[in-house]
Amino acid sequence: MSNKEYIYHPVGIDFFDPKVPIEDGRVVVKVQPHGCPKNGTLGHCYIGDPDTREMIGLVLEKSLTELKE
Report the pLDDT value the prediction gives residue 1, as an integer from 0 to 100. Answer: 52
Report the pLDDT value the prediction gives residue 32, as an integer from 0 to 100. Answer: 96
* Structure letter (DSSP) for residue 17: S
Domain ranges of the chain: 5-66
* Structure letter (DSSP) for residue 28: E
Report the pLDDT value the prediction gives residue 3, as an integer from 0 to 100. Answer: 79
Q: What is the C-alpha to C-alpha distance for residues 56 and 37, in angstroms, rounded to an integer?
A: 16
Q: How many CB atoms lie within 10 A of CB 54?
A: 8
Nearest C-alpha neighbor of 7 from the set 64, 52, 57, 69: 64
Q: What is the C-alpha to C-alpha distance for residues 65 and 67, in angstroms, rounded to an integer?
A: 6
Report the pLDDT value the prediction gives residue 52, as an integer from 0 to 100. Answer: 95
Cα 67 to chain center, whole Å?
13
Going residue by residue through the chain, which has 69 residues, state the pLDDT in tens, using 9 for 90 and above.
567 999 999 999 999 988 898 999 999 999 999 999 999 999 999 999 999 999 999 999 999 999 987
